[in-house]
């Protein structure tokens, strides 16, 4: 997607945008068995390998995000997979393209009668279907957006699954989020499942005046502002679960909570 803030706008929808009104949007990548998991064992700083707790269908050349286990969110890292050892297919060992900068803890700790799993999460960022802003997006923090707005209940359907969204969101612009369901009402047939959003300059998924949307099993990494945002508190019956969010960055141009 190409464009800049100086280019002409579609009323309501903006520019550098995939806009949908009273129609259908289907984006479906190859199904992935697992979009995120956790470490099986602790990985020390400077290590170039990590062992996962679960089997995955991830491939050499794909990108992953590794959550920090320090007290600093910016210790998250994006890495490329250069090799995968599946000698034990249930505990794959991934070789990374560069060393880990900090230790990644992977144990269950007990506090009183409570057990808390403290393992570092690992999310898959790559998909075979990619929606992205052009090369200028990063320079001016003005990425591509998907804006979904229509006249009322179920007057549009958007099904987004196993898609990679990158260089998305338009910083300092209200409403210009990576994927924005805007004032539609009920969207029983729509969903956002198993996608990856990384490098977004303005949130990831926003539902505004929208109900019955399903946001499930997505990976969100390196995003400015609220990552999964319910805007007015009038939204009802939305399902938001099993998503992984890593390295949220503050934004100075939206709500104070962003």
**157-167: average pLDDT:** 98
Q: What pLDDT is stored for residue 209 in this prediction?
A: 97
**124-148: average pLDDT:** 96
Cα–Cα separations (whole angstroms), residue 28 to 13, 21, 125, 143:
23, 19, 15, 21
- Does the pLDDT of residue 253 top 80, yes or no? no
| % of residues, the chain, pLDDT over 90 | 95
**241-245: average pLDDT:** 98
Q: What pLDDT is stored for residue 92 in this prediction?
A: 98
Task: Read off the pLDDT of residues 72-105 as tens digits, 9 standing for 90 and up.
Answer: 989 999 999 999 999 999 999 999 999 999 999 9
- Give residue 215's pLDDT band: very low, low, confident or very high (50, 70, 90): very high
Q: What pLDDT is stored for residue 157 in this prediction?
A: 98
- Give residue 153's pLDDT band: very low, low, confident or very high (50, 70, 90): very high
- Give residue 257's pLDDT band: very low, low, confident or very high (50, 70, 90): confident
- Does the pLDDT of residue 137 top 90, yes or no? yes
Tell me the torsion sign for CA atoms 174, 14, 186, 202.
negative
The answer to whether the predicted template modeling score (pTM) of the entire model surpasses 0.85 is yes
- Does the pLDDT of residue 252 top 80, yes or no? no
**155-169: average pLDDT:** 98
Q: What structural domains and CATH numbers belong to the chain? A: 17-31+127-249 (no CATH), 36-124 (2.40.30)
CA distance 123 to 71: 19
Cα–Cα separations (whole angstroms), residue 220 to 12, 92, 114, 127:
26, 23, 28, 13
**If we measure between CA atoms, which residue out of 125, 124, 144, 121 comes closest to residue 134?**
144
- Does the pLDDT of residue 254 top 90, yes or no? no
């Amino acid at each position: 997607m190409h464009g800049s803030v100086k280019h002409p706008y579609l009323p309501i929808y903006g520019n550098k945008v995939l806009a949908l009104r009273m129609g259908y949007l289907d984006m479906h990548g190859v199904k992935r068995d697992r979009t995120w998991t956790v470490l099986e064992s602790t990985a020390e700083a400077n290590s170039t390998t990590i062992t996962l707790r679960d089997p995955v269908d991830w491939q050499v050349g794909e990108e992953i995000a590794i959550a920090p286990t320090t007290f600093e969110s910016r210790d998250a890292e994006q890495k490329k997979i250069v090799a995968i050892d599946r000698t034990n297919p249930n505990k794959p060992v991934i070789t990374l393209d560069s060393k880990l900068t900090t230790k990644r803890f992977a144990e269950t700790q007990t506090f009183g009668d409570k057990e808390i799993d403290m393992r570092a999460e690992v999310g898959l960022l790559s998909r075979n279907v990619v929606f992205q802003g052009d090369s200028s997006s990063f320079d001016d923090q003005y990425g591509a957006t998907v804006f979904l707005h229509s006249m009322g209940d179920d007057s549009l359907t958007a099904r987004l699954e196993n898609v990679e969204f990158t260089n998305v969101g338009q910083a300092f612009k209200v409403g210009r989020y990576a994927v924005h369901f805007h004032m539609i009402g009920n969207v029983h047939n729509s969903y956002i499942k198993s996608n990856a959003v990384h490098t977004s300059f303005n949130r990831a998924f926003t539902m505004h005046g929208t109900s019955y949307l399903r946001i499930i099993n997505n990976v969100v990494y390196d995003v400015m502002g609220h990552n999964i945002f319910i805007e007015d508190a009038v939204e009802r019956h939305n399902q938001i679960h099993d998503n992984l969010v890593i390295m949220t960055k503050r934004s100075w141009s939206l709500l104070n909570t962003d």
